[in-house]
C-alpha cells in the first residue's frame, strides 16, 4: 500500500506538456523553474536574453523537447519544439 501511495504522488508531480506550453509567454524564469524544474541546457545571448531547452517524457516513453526564449527581463516570450537528445 505504501508503494502505491508513493506511485500516485510521484505521478501527480510530473509536469504536464499542455501546462508547459500554455505557461510560456505568461510566466518568468523563476516561476518556470518552480513549476517545471531546471532546464537541461541554457544559453545566454549577447543581448541579455536567454534560451532554455527542456525535455519531458510524455505518454509513456515518448520524449518531447522544447526551446524556450526569454527576454532580458527574464520573461518567457515563445517556445518551439526541438528533437530530444
- Report how many domains make up the chain: 1
CATH number for the domain harbouring residue 60: 3.30.1450.10
Predicted confidence (pLDDT) per residue in 4-51, tens digit: 433 333 333 445 788 899 999 999 999 999 999 999 999 999 999 999
**What residues make up the domain containing 78?**
16-82
Q: Regarding predicted confidence, which is higher, 79 or 13?
A: 79
Place of cell 519531458: 56
Q: What is the pTM of this model?
A: 0.77
Buried b (16+ CB within 10 A) or exposed e, 26-59: ebebeebeeebeebeeeeeeeeebbebbbbbeee
**Ordered DSSP codes for 49-70:** -EEEEEEEEETTTEEEEEEEEE
Cα distances (Å, whole numbers) of residue 54 to 5, 60, 61, 64, 85: 28, 17, 15, 8, 10
Is 50 exceeded by the pLDDT of residue 2? Answer: no
> Is residue 47 one of the residues assigned to a domain?
yes
> Is residue 1 one of the residues assigned to a domain?
no
> Is residue 3 one of the residues assigned to a domain?
no
> Is residue 2 one of the residues assigned to a domain?
no
> Is residue 54 one of the residues assigned to a domain?
yes
Amino acid at each position: 500500500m505504501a508503494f502505491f501511495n508513493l506511485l500516485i504522488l510521484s505521478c501527480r508531480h510530473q509536469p504536464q506538456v499542455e501546462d508547459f506550453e500554455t505557461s510560456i509567454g505568461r510566466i518568468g524564469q523563476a516561476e518556470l523553474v518552480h513549476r517545471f524544474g531546471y532546464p537541461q541546457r541554457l544559453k545566454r545571448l549577447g543581448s541579455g536574453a536567454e534560451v532554455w531547452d527542456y525535455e519531458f517524457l510524455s505518454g509513456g516513453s515518448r520524449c518531447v523537447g522544447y526551446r524556450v526564449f526569454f527576454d532580458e527581463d527574464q520573461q518567457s516570450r515563445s517556445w518551439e519544439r526541438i528533437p530530444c537528445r
